[in-house]
A and B are shown apart, each in its own frame.
Chain A
Amino acid sequence: MIAGIDEKKLKRAFLDEVEEILEHLDQALLELEKQPDNTELLNEVFRFIHSLKSEAAMLGFTSLSGLAHKIEDVFDKLRNREMSITQVLMDTILSATDQLHEIISVIEKGGRDDDFNVAEIVNLLKSACGETITLEVSKEDVDEPVRKRIEFEKRHEFSCFEKEQLIEAGERKEEFYRLTCRIDDECPMKYARAYLLHNNLEKIVNVVKAIPSMDLEQESDENYATIVFYITASCDEKEIYKAVEIDQVQKAELLKLDLSEYMLPGRKDTEQNGRAGTAALSLKRVERNSIRVGTKKLDELWSLVGELIINKSQLSKIAKIINSLNINPAMSETVEAAVDKLDKITDGIQQAMMETRMVPISVIFNKLPRLVRDLSKKLGKNVKLTITGEETEIDRSIVEQLSEPITHIIRNSLDHGIEFSDVRVAKSKPSEGTITVSASQEGGNIILQISDDGSGFDLKKIEEKALEKGLITNGDTAYDKIVRFIFLPGFSTKDEVTDLSGRGVGMDVVATKIKDELHGDVSLNTDPDKGSTVTITLPLTLTILNAVIIRSRDHLYAIPVNKTEETVEVLNTEIRYDNGRAMYNYRDEEVPVIYLDSLLGKRVSRGEENYGVIIRHGSMKGCLFVDMLVEELDIVIKPIDDILNSKHLFSGISVLGDGSIVYILDTSSILERL
């Protein structure tokens, strides 16, 4: 049987595959809702569901495959025009795919799919295609042999998907066979044999259809005594016979069939209905010129690259020292050239490695149409979503954290921004609102913009609220200043709290996440009745940090440059005490002095002069006193183990070129504890 490690790998591959299928499926479904008559799309959805079902069955996820099977049934009926897409049906299907998502995430976390009760949704799906099911019940008055023949023909009939495979095989000039295998009556586990046959065949030919099917449905083991495979192959017949030469397989019979006979009706079908749909199908399977590599492997490789960079810079330092000694000019030149070359190569490797960390932002964007659809329905608003630049690539670790803020901004736009149709018409705007989401790369940054053509933020209200909270004085109403309040914690102007947003945790949460965790920036542009635009600027990667290296006693520490304002020299006489608390006047602002030594549990040594770094977090500032400012450097961030960071002083750790270890200070946490 499958060994533990393989099972793990298998499961990972399965999850990767299924997540990809689900993503395509979601897109196709939303598209289908807009064009319910698009046959090509229907077929596409059917295929996605079908492969999902097969994948799940293969790994024995029966609840998952069972649910997929029911959805497949619905689409089978839709394809055959036995029923049509209604709003209710669409909602049912979408909630069924939601369940698929949930089951997958449970499996991903190591759970079992049978922890899930899919009965309810399965019943909904069943009732969705209810009447037709009763019609299909075989009539008792048909003679037994006739019934058997009908059943045989029905089972041997090719589905659209299978017909398509035949067409493709025809294009590849493959031969088409029917292979009948008989398994020994005495064999106790016929399914296992059949499965083995199927697997062996798949290695050398394309199995279009197996009867009975291999999908682990409720077929009894006896049904696998005789198994019929329809296959297309380009290899020799002998090889096919060899593939089925398995212990306890008694007889194998290979029959060549005429491909054109079988695929003709299918061909006609797609040609009739398919034309209109071809343009809509941008979702067609992407050409596979890529392979799957585990993210863990990439991370390992990445850490090796980090080491390489560190060692390279150490080598350059050594080379410089050697050259400065001026021992042998000719040799100095050779060393310099070699180091230069190494420099270029490592740069190249770093760049290439960096690219492997990059994923297209479509990973997030693809989820948005569904979000907008559901929310706008719920709110009773008419909204169109436009997405551009979804191919823009960004660091995997950033993408993972970006979903939440983007979702929040869009919710805001839908809830507060876009007006109801009648209001929009009264403002002589198109009755349908538009939300535009775009991504692009500018230099070392990724720019994301989310705009709507709604009512814009109510600046008057914000101003009133700011006045009320004493944040501004009368007359101090510069646009820039007012807009900035929107990102302040607890600042929300929506009078009525809704289910969606407006609970006082709004843009401020977005801003904190983006600024502090993703090292980015966020800004807002708003125009009354014209709409608003949120612009998010993000670094390309989180693994390399531009930092100020400082020294305190025997240790080196790093402070992220984007968390600092500037470095200052402070005389002791400039320190003022307020209730025993040291304060420093930095640009007309009293900021608390933080002694790094005491923070680190060491005795504070005080000189006449102090080096200070002004750090900030949101609106908080502090002046961090350090022993010495060393240099500004790009460093490679490594996560810090919990047992080293019980006081949450650090956000990471890094190793410099000479091998010395640097602790990266978590300035946000340091300021928050003041």
Chain B
Amino acid sequence: MEYRYVLFRVGEVRYAINLEYAVQIFRNQNILDVPRAPRYVEGVINVRGGVVPVINMRERFGLPREENEKKKRIVVIRIDDHLYGLLVDDVREIVEIKEETVDRNVTSVFGLRKNMIDGIAKLNNKLIIILSIKEVVNSKGEIKIAK
């Protein structure tokens, strides 16, 4: 049994989300900022006539902003019929990960709480955190990734 994941990087860490969530990947989109929105909301983009909030994953994980932030790639995902854009440092590829290689009983890694982690996998000897992306998007509180 294996599932497909979208692999991306935020800071030094590689993350994966189940491909089922992914809708589209953009780069160089025109992001319009939103007045009085939380810091991690980078702004909104227009996806096929719909307005999609973009979450800056660096900000979401409490990492410092980089210079070219707005030029980065956006992974558009769908959660419960709502679209969200995830502004990430780099989108690597779509990979297949064997379920046997995934550790699903992870407590807390890099300061990410247990409920935000769906599992940890090893791919080519590199650690990948499979995110429970719904929790990450919906979480109201601050998330701080340890360095």
**Residues of A bordering B, CB below 8 Å:** 296, 303-304, 306-307, 310-311, 554-555, 600-602, 638, 640-641, 643-647, 649, 653, 655, 659, 661, 663
Contact A644 B53 (CB under 8 A): yes
A1 to chain B, nearest CB (A): 21
Contact A644 B34 (CB under 8 A): yes
5 other A-B residue contacts (CB within 8 Å) besides A296-B81, A646-B37: A303-B50, A311-B49, A646-B38, A653-B44, A663-B34
Closest to B82 in A: A641
Closest to A305 in B: B49
Q: Residues of B contacting A646 with CB < 8 Å?
A: 36-38
Contact A602 B35 (CB under 8 A): yes
Given A601-B36, A643-B37, A646-B37, are A306 and B49 neighbors across the interface (CB < 8 Å)?
yes
Contact among B36, B53, B55 with A649 in the assembled complex (CB-CB below 8 Å): B36
Number of B positions contacting A (CB below 8 A): 19
Residues of chain B from 72 to 112 with CB closer than 8 A to chain A in the complex: 81-82, 84
CA distance A640 to B53 in the complex (A): 9
Q: Residues of A contacting B35 with CB < 8 Å?
A: 555, 600-602, 649, 663
Contact B50 A661 (CB under 8 A): no
Contact A661 B44 (CB under 8 A): yes
Instruction: Verify if B32 is at the interface (C-beta below 8 Å from A).
Output: yes
Instruction: Verify if B24 is at the interface (C-beta below 8 Å from A).
Output: no
Among A303, A643, A659, the one with the most B-chain Cβ atoms within 10 Å of its Cβ is A643
Q: Residues of A contacting B50 with CB < 8 Å?
A: 303, 638, 655
Given A601-B36, A649-B35, A661-B46, are A643 and B41 neighbors across the interface (CB < 8 Å)?
yes
Closest to B34 in A: A644
Contact A647 B36 (CB under 8 A): yes
Q: Residues of A contacting B147 with CB < 8 Å?
A: none
Contact B53 A643 (CB under 8 A): yes
26 contacts between A and B (CB under 8 A): A296-B81, A303-B50, A304-B49, A306-B49, A555-B32, A555-B35, A601-B36, A640-B51, A643-B37, A643-B38, A643-B53, A643-B137, A644-B37, A644-B41, A645-B37, A646-B36, A646-B37, A646-B38, A647-B36, A649-B35, A649-B36, A653-B51, A655-B50, A661-B46, A663-B34, A663-B35
CA distance A528 to B28 in the complex (A): 69
Contact B36 A303 (CB under 8 A): no
Q: Residues of B contacting A600 with CB < 8 Å?
A: 35-36
Instruction: Verify if B48 is at the interface (C-beta below 8 Å from A).
Output: yes
CA distance A555 to B55 in the complex (A): 19
Closest to A596 in B: B35
CA distance A641 to B82 in the complex (A): 8
CA distance A277 to B51 in the complex (A): 56
CA distance A142 to B80 in the complex (A): 64
Which 4 interchain pairs have the tightest Cβ spacing? Answer: A307-B49, A600-B35, A647-B36, A653-B51
Closest to B32 in A: A661
A639 to chain B, nearest CB (A): 9
A306 to chain B, nearest CB (A): 6
Contact among B41, B46, B82 with A655 in the assembled complex (CB-CB below 8 Å): B46
